[in-house]
Amino acid sequence: MQGKLSRAAKQSLDRRFGALYDKLYREDVLWTAWKRVRVNRGAPGVDKQTIEHIEEVIGVEAFLADLGEELRGKTYRPQSVRRCWIDKPGKAEKRPLGIPVVKDRVVQMAAKLMLEPIFETNFLDCSCGFRPGRSAHMAIKKIRSAITFGRKTVVIDADIKGYFDAIRHDILMRLVQKRVSDPRMLKLIRGWLTAGVMDEGQHVRSSAGTPQGGVISPLLANLYLHCFDVMFVESGIPGTLVRYADDFVILVHLDGEKVLAKARGMLGRLGLELHPEKTRIVSADDGFDFLGIHLRRTPTKSPKARMKYVTRLWPSDRSLRAVREKIKQTFGRRYGSSLEEIVGKLNPVIRGWNNYHTAIRPVRERLLKLNYYVSERIRIFLKRKYSDETRGYRRVHGEMITRLGVCQFG
**Over the stretch 121-136, which tens digit does the pLDDT of each residue have?**
999 999 999 999 999 9
Amino acid identity at 309: Y
Confidence of residue 74 (pLDDT cuts 50, 70, 90): very high
Q: What percent of the chain has pLDDT over 70?
A: 96
CA 182 to chain CA centroid, nearest Å? 29
pTM of the model: 0.91
Is 388's pLDDT higher than 90?
Answer: no
Q: What percent of the chain has pLDDT over 90?
A: 69
3-state DSSP call for residue 81? strand
Give all strands of the β-sheet with 239-244 in edge-to-edge order: 239-244, 247-252, 154-159, 280-283
Sequence-ordered list of residues with C-beta below 8 angstroms from that of 68, at least 6 positions apart, any chain: 25, 27, 30
Determine the pLDDT at residue 301: 81
Determine the pLDDT at residue 397: 62
Weakest mean pLDDT among 182-186, 190-194, 368-372: 368-372
pLDDT in tens, 195-236: 988 887 778 788 888 888 889 999 999 999 999 999 999 999
C-alpha dihedral, 368 to 373 to 379 to 383, nearest 10°: 180
Is 399's pLDDT higher than 80?
Answer: no
358 vs 351: CA distance, rounded Å: 10
91-97: average pLDDT:
73
Confidence of residue 392 (pLDDT cuts 50, 70, 90): low
Determine the pLDDT at residue 186: 97
pLDDT in tens, 334-354: 888 888 899 899 999 999 999
Is 96's pLDDT higher than 90?
Answer: no
164-187: average pLDDT:
96
Is 396's pLDDT higher than 70?
Answer: no
pLDDT in tens, 252-303: 999 999 999 999 999 999 999 999 999 999 999 999 999 999 999 999 887 7
397 vs 402: CA distance, rounded Å: 9
Determine the pLDDT at residue 256: 95
Residue 202 pairs in a beta bridge with: 199
7-28: average pLDDT:
92
Determine the pLDDT at residue 380: 84
3-state DSSP call for residue 330? helix
Amino acid identity at 275: H
Is 363's pLDDT higher than 70?
Answer: yes
309 vs 297: CA distance, rounded Å: 6
Amino acid identity at 306: R
Is 393's pLDDT higher than 60?
Answer: no
71-88: average pLDDT:
89
Determine the pLDDT at residue 203: 81
Determine the pLDDT at residue 401: 72
- Residues 211/217, Cβ–Cβ less than 8 Å: yes
